[in-house]
Structure 1
Amino acid sequence: MYFLSWVKEPATPVLSRRGGWRIRGDAWLAGAWERRLVSSLVRKYFHVNPGFEDDPMVFHRVPSWSSEVDYAFEFHAHALRLGVAYYSLREGWVLSPTGALASLLESQGAQACEIGFAKHLKGKQVELPEECGGSSSMVLVRMGDYVGVGRRVGEGGRRFKIKDLAPRGFRKLARGGAEDVVKFNEQVLHESVREAVGFIKKAYRSIQGSGRVAVSFSGGADSTATLSLVAQALGPGRVVAVYSDTGLEFPESLSYAERVASRLGVELVVLEPTVKAVDLVGEKGLMSVEDRWCTRILKLEPLRRFYSSSGLKLYFDGARDYESFNRARTPRLGYNPLIPGVKRALPIKHWPRLLVQAYLYSVKIPLNPLYDQGFTRIGCVACPAMHLYELHLSFSKHRGVHEELVKAAGLGMEEYLRMRWSTR
């Protein structure tokens, strides 16, 4: 279990085993697209530019509380919990701000409606004058030494429900950078890397014994960190990076994988399926969370063939507990029933993504550029693990691939873009 706190000068997130915000879901440093998203939501509701685009910001995944909510996260910056943003199937992106965000915005010059002093105002409704709020669904409100957020009750009315309050005067801190993340997380990084390297060496001695091992490599942050750790523990000459190209991979991922493998000095093997995804869609329908035939046929079948012919006994994988409930239940050392005869080891099983990012910063391996484009997972262009907003992003970048899949499935494009993978 990890906790999140902040160094204030400069503003830098710090992981520890105790103290701070408990990380229940995954947590990570937001990419460029994610920071722009938060800034755009603040401008939408409060008509002020918060300037978060270049600020260190941590996203903390939270569970969806409704079938209408496809994806939700808390966002933290400047040592403050600033709110929750979520993607609604009906409304698109929605912001739920905290009083801390209201205080920060007021310090930047945003106007707040004075409502006088009153105790225990949080959760209560107040009527604001006509000049407050305009047509926005939320306004900043000020109550003596406190400032907060009021959400409009009903359509066009003047009554607002006070959602949250915080002391006035919160201000932005000096920005930290990647080097600060490494510096202030040095202790947890050292302990975590030492433990992972020891686990890798022990698994190698007890299972493989000699010769080479494989690392399942997708070009995502987790598999990149795992590849680097295995190369560090065993030496690059003993490592084969195995990239399974399903035929639906993002073009950026394969080129990134080639750069990383070259940088680390490990051999890269690219596997390809014997059938095309679009042909299988015509036969089986679209892939879904409940029926991920794409993984079984396009990814695991080539892997099974590779391992059966290579004689390898062990491979390392970047799966982590924080990714999903199912992955949290996966043993750290065991067999994947879909790849028999080869043992799977998970060196970073217990790491949050923020720790993965800090490690990659420390060894100077840049992240896959797709993270800065808004994608949380690096897989296929049309992956069942995608959130709905990611599907829309992917469609905007690789429309031709999606059009082929939609045609093969016999669907209309509008229907396709509204569907959640889990309900297909």
Structure 2
Amino acid sequence: MHLKKSDARIHKMPSRKGVVDKKKHSRNPVSNEQSTIYWCKNCNVPLLDKNCGVCEGEIFEIKLSGPGDIRFCSPYERELLGKLLLSEFGCDPLGERLVLLNKISGEDKTAQVIVDGLDIGTLLFDMSLMEHHFEISVAGAQVFHGLIGSRTVTLKKTKMHLNGKKVSSELIESSTNDIKTGDPVIVVSGNLVGVGISLVDSDNMATADCPVLRVRKISSGDLKLSSRVATLEDAITANLPHLRKIGKNAMNTIKGIASQKEHRKLPVHVSFSGGKDSLVVLDLTLSALKGRDVRAFFLNTGIEFPETVEFVHSHCENRGIELIESKAENAFWENLESFGPPAKDFRWCCKVCKLGPAGAIIDQCSENGGVCLTIDGKRKFESFSRSNISASEKNPFVPNQLNIFPIRDWRAIEVWLYIYWRKLDYNPLYDVGFERVGCYLCPAELSAEYERLKDLHPSIYDRWNSFLLKWARSKGLSDEYVRHGMWRWKELPPKMLKLASELGIETEPSSVIDDFDITLTSGFSPCREGGFTVEASVKGVLVSEASAILNMLGSTVFSEELGMVLLKMDSGTVKFFSSGSLKVTANSKEYAHSCLEATAKQLLRASKCTECGICLKVCPVNAIELGSEKGRVYINDSCISCGKCTDGCVVLKYSDKILSAMLNGRK
């Protein structure tokens, strides 16, 4: 076997992002370890390690842009790619070849397209035009040159540096007659081949007085598609040793924890969402724990895709698996008018539709005082926020639940190869353009997939879209605000603000944003497990803002996915949700009151901060940042909880009277 770098190695190494530390809400730089796949030149298949299970031929290494969660192109995406190639270049030279997609950062759904080990371009959803496009790469141009006879500009030989340059008509030798202004084109100059953007139509290419072409990138090379067209079965066979190894490791993780003395007699629950990852985990658990009581539980949020609900039930029925389904029923729609549409930074729906039903299952599972042993399909390559998943973790948000993550190190391509190898039935939504198959209106869903919802389920789409339009109009926002997916954030990120500016879409609502308010929704009452609890409703503070400041009171765990921050203090805990719900639990009634008061003060401070800078001057350890992207007030890990910033805060000068009035109903 001979290993070398791929000729099309134009991929970047994974970017480094932060993850949430379990002890403090801090950001530690991490990167996904596996940023590489391999390609067997002889078999023409992707490999997940350096060895081919079929031959000992030449192996290419391919670097992937982060997070590196590469997968096979779905039938819908392959059809879409073919149509784009036909539209832009007049033919689809890929035929029946294996096509891989590697998710990369972008406005919306964006992926590198890898064929025969070559990065031939990017398939993306354009948020301005709300449609898909294919952007050919230099490697793609070199592959397609000679296979197609369209959208090509040939330049005269020149010694000038062409990369990034605009070219005048004097340098044009010839061009095909199908080029329009703004079209991506293949650029040829001698033995150099690359890509560019046409600045004029074909008719004016050789005569215009202005620049006619901008060369994006051009280089020497003679890349070609392989003479061998591999099949999915070929890929499975070549990766079979690797699949057996990672499958065995995953089963050992499950058996190792589930067979511990304190867990041996417990039933095992698999969190089965109907997605590909939970499907694989369910199959692995059944294989690893033969003879054990294995059950699947499904949290039906009431806003699941119909295909997902049907698949969960049919799969469990066909395999004789006991299914425990906890339903949120109409909880989402009943709370929608109060909270408005959920957002990536305001995921109140997770508490209402997931944590509630999950809590009911966990309580039932652990009613005899034990833990609820749960096998979960979370993977660190799904997002940077999951990149530090351990083999097992106690759920900080759901007491008495121990989660096991046996495929935490798997990438999407490994999940799919396992499914194909084991011939498992899977959710049909994956074949028609969806990567997420849970809640159909989840704000984390991409606009590209939301457009597919309109095609597949027009009545469901119309109900949700009608609400969004009504909501936007009530805020003085345009229909275009909804159409371009801006409802999916409570505070728009820079990329969406830039898009809105380019499209002339107003992003500031005309209605006044909620002012700070906190109201008790329950009195101080004894807990079943001991101690006391009190609940309140908070307005005017985002959960991200709360997370940025509350760690001065104790250690915090922030879950952006659940829209929740958990604060652990000496003798109590505080849970604050993006819905505005606040729950305090403490050893005594007095300490519960103290925790509530201390938390309310910091939330008021986060909401009303004027960035005057007094707190910066009194902090002895420089633990405070003001006006950063992390929040108006951000307390970092060096905080020693001395309280000097609280004592010196102008906003909190009269907080005792303000909060007392709010908490006692005198506003």
| TM beyond 0.5 | yes
Structure 1 unaligned regions, length at least 5: none
> Across the two proteins, how many residue pairs are aligned to each other?
419
Where does residue 538 of structure 2 map in the other structure?
none
CA distance in 2, matches of 1:367, 1:52: 26
Q: Distance in 1 between matches of 2:251 and 2:444?
A: 29
Moved more, 196-205 or 290-299: 290-299
Residue 62 of structure 1, aligned match among 77, 82, 104: 104
Alignment of 1:150-229 (within 5 A): 150-153=196-199, 158-168=212-222, 170-206=224-260, 208-229=263-284
2:344 to 265, 289, 297: 289
Whole-angstrom distance in 1 between the partners of 2:246 and 2:199: 49
CA displacement at 1:263 relative to structure 2: 4.4
How far apart are the structure 2 equivalents of 1:79 and 1:238?
44
Q: Deviations over 1:129-186 (max 9, x none)?
A: 6744521512222233343222224798622314234523613543322322211112
Q: CA deviation at 1:215?
A: 0.8
Q: Does 1:124 align with 2:165?
A: yes
Measured in 1, the distance between the counterparts of 2:154 and 2:200 equals 21
* 2:47 matched residue in structure 1: 14
- Write the distance in 2 (CA, Å) between the matches of 1:346 and 1:254: 23
Deviates more, 1:326-335 or 1:190-199: 326-335
1:304 shift after superposition: 0.9
Q: Find the structure with the greater CA-based Rg.
A: 2
Shift of 1:307: 1.6
Distance 1:256 1:351, change over 3 A: same
Question: How much does 1:9 deviate?
Answer: 4.6
Q: Residue 416 of structure 1: SS of its match in structure 2?
A: helix
**3-state secondary structure, aligned to 1:36:** helix
Q: Which has the higher helix share?
A: 1
8 Å contact from structure 1 (residues 74, 84) kept in 2: yes
1:196-241 Cα deviation digits (max 9, x unpaired): 1110001102252124211111111111111111111002752111
Report how far residue 407 of structure 1 moved: 4.3
For 1:231-250, list aligned pairs within 5 A.
Answer: 231-235=286-290, 238-250=293-305
Gaps of 5+ in 2: 1-32, 52-59, 205-210, 473-478, 491-667
Contact 2:359 2:398 in 1 (8 A): yes
More off after superposition, 280-289 vs 89-98: 89-98
Give the counterpart of 1:44 among 72, 87, 112: 87
Is the deviation greater in 103-112 or in 363-372?
A: 103-112
Percent identical residues: 24
Q: Hey, what's the Cα distance between the residues in 2 that align with 1:85 and 1:302? A: 38
3-state SS of 2:108 partner = strand
Contact kept? 1:7, 1:14, Cα under 8 Å? yes
Relative distance call for 1:408 and 1:85 in structure 2 (3 A) is closer
Q: Is the 8 A contact 1:377 1:386 kept in 2?
A: yes
* Counterpart check, 1:91 vs 2:137: no
Greater mean deviation of Cα atoms: 168-177 or 23-32: 168-177
1:371 counterpart residue number: 430
Partner residue, 2:190: 144
* Cα separation, 2, equivalents of 1:383 and 1:53: 35
Q: Is the partner of 1:254 in helix, strand or coil? A: helix
Matched, 1:4 2:37: yes
Q: Quote the Cα distance in structure 1 between the aligned partners of 2:240 and 2:40.
A: 13
The AA in structure 1 aligned to 2:83 is: S
Which is further off, 5-14 or 311-320? 5-14
Task: Say whether residues 1:411 and 2:474 are aligned partners.
Answer: no
User: CA contact under 8 A between 1:129 and 1:158: conserved in structure 2?
Assistant: no
Larger RCO of the pair (alpha carbons < 8 Å, separation 6+): 1
The match for 2:154 among 114, 117, 128 is 114
- Write the distance in 1 (CA, Å) between the matches of 2:319 and 2:50: 30
Counterparts of residues 318-333 of structure 1 (less than 5 Å):
318-333=377-392
Check the 8 A contact 2:286/2:294 in 1, yes or no: yes
* Root mean square deviation of aligned Cα: 2.6
Distance 1:224 1:353 in 2: 13
TM (norm. structure 2) is: 0.59
1:230 paired to 2:285? yes
Match of 2:396 in 1: 337
Distance 1:366 1:54 in 2: 23
Amino acid across the alignment from 2:471: L
Q: What is the rounded CA distance, in whole Å, between the counterparts of 2:402 and 2:436 in structure 1? A: 24
The one-letter code matched in structure 2 to 1:261 is: C
Alpha-carbon distance between aligned partners in 2 of 1:176 and 1:294, rounded to the nearest angstrom: 44
Is the Cα contact below 8 Å between 2:138 and 2:195 reproduced in 1? yes
